[in-house]
Structure 1
Amino acid sequence: MRNVIDQVPKSLAIMGGTFDPIHYGHLVTAEAVRYEFNIDQVLFMPTGHPPHKSQENITHSEHRYLMTVLATATNSHFNVSRLEIDRKGITYTIDTIKDLIRIYGENVELYFITGADALSHIFTWKDAEELLKMCTFVAVTRPEYHKEELIEKVEIIRNYYQSKIHFLEVPALSISSTNIRERVKKGMPIKYLLPESVENYIYKFKLYL
């Protein structure tokens, strides 16, 4: 297991998600954001008990964590955190951001990667106004996504709260964890949708059957 604080980065991007399973869409997105904003390290944060998802349909956190470790192992700029999966109770983004500031120090520049559609509903998140002031948001979208109305909505949020929000199109976001799970259940191939190490892990532990 890699230690997330072996070397304190000057800039850190948080890539949160259930990662059920993690796939190339997640990895390409993380690398695109890292390159675009010249970020030192991307920290993948598998969710523990997210408030907006039913726990009944989410694979056990240890499987999701280990698949994420396998998927990111070959990229020296990627790391994985257990912060949320080890936290008891519902996990909220603002608690995670506060923990990371405590761990890395107040001088670290934090970026939070999220889907643009999720960002448009940020006021359903806990302490959203405070959160918008604590880090830079990178809202990622698919190229074919009809985002004009979404961009307008996010622009209002950005201007009103003087928050840092950037948009980034990522073609690989067309891959989805939902589709991968459905393909496994139907006995269809998932090769080239996710790293081979994650594919082997899914079959070894008979996930999504």
Structure 2
Amino acid sequence: MQDTMARRVALLGGTFDPVHAGHVALGAHFMALLQADELWVMPALPWQKAALAASPQQRAEMVELAFAGQPYPVVVDKRELQRGQPTYTVDTLRELRAELGPQTSIAFLMGADQLQRLDTWHDWQDLFGLAHLCAAARPGFELGALPPAVAQEFARRAATPEQIRNTPSGLTCLAPDLALDVSATGIRAALQRGNKPGSLSLLIPPVVLDYIEQHNLYKK
């Protein structure tokens, strides 16, 4: 099959509280795998999570720092923050699909932890009509670890990177070889315990660590 899509966009959403090396690696992994034209990174105001430690502006600024200088185009899209209220992913994808057009390949990227909760997302089955769903999992992760309805959808829609590149939406890809085990929750806990930011330099981009220190974030 020849590459026929006019545009390929990979979309990485999250709270990014804080953004860390796992997020950057996830974006880079799928940019290479899918040969996407652009990575859109979208900080969220999620309806499922409690109050966040960093402000919306701080989270957006950390994302901009973390993804600066990548060897591919990166767009930091702040639309969910600008709405000023929690929003559903399905609504954002509907908006993006209307903007980018029916032929653009949109791949929504997520980690295995998000995938395991996918059936709790609002109108989650409608996501497939708007984008591809691509998840990165740790080695050894299997679809059997997912809620049955999610596992069934992921299995029946499984596709190759080439198929995802050349269709607008509706397919899935599980990349089980992203071994980074980084948790924003764990990073916040370490900083609250008083761990020096330098001890987390392998988990968070140095420019983001500097930002956290300058703004005295994630302290008790």
TM over 0.5: yes
Aligned partner letter, 2:179:
P
Q: Report Cα offsets for 1:163-205 as digits up to 9, x if no partner.
A: 4111012112x01111221222222222222111101000000
Matched, 1:198 2:208: yes
Aligned partner letter, 2:174:
F
State the superposition RMSD in angstroms. Answer: 2.2
Give the TM-score normalised by the residue count of structure 1.
0.85
From 75, 99, 104, the counterpart of 1:108: 104
TM-aligned CA deviation for residue 62 of structure 1: 0.7
* Alignment correspondent of 1:19: 16
Matched, 1:39 2:46: no
TM-aligned CA deviation for residue 117 of structure 1: 4.0
Worse-matched range after superposition: 117-126 or 10-19? 117-126
Residue pairs, 1:1-209, within 5 angstroms? 10-48=7-45, 50-55=46-51, 57-75=52-70, 76-145=72-141, 147-150=142-145, 153=148, 154-158=150-154, 163-169=170-176, 170-172=178-180, 174-188=181-195, 189-209=199-219
- Segments of structure 2 that go 5 or more residues without pairing to the other structure are 1-5, 159-169
- Segments of structure 1 that go 5 or more residues without pairing to the other structure are 1-8
Q: Report Cα offsets for 1:21-52 as digits up to 9, x if no partner.
A: 1111110111001111111111111112x121
Pair 122,179 (structure 1): closer, same or farther in 2 beyond 3 Å: closer
* Alignment correspondent of 2:163: none
Q: How far apart in 1 are the matches of 2:65 and 2:76?
A: 10
Worse-matched range after superposition: 115-124 or 189-198? 115-124
**Aligned length, in residue pairs:** 197
Q: Where does structure 1 differ by over 6 angstroms across 4 or more consecutive aligned residues? A: none
Percent of pairs identical after alignment?
28
Pair 152,202 (structure 1): closer, same or farther in 2 beyond 3 Å: closer
TM-aligned CA deviation for residue 159 of structure 1: 5.7
Q: How far apart in 2 are the matches of 1:16 and 1:113?
A: 7
Instruction: Say whether the 8 Å CA contact 2:116–2:147 is kept in structure 1.
Output: no
Pair 199,42 (structure 1): closer, same or farther in 2 beyond 3 Å: same
Give the TM-score normalised by the residue count of structure 2.
0.81
Aligned partner letter, 2:211:
Y
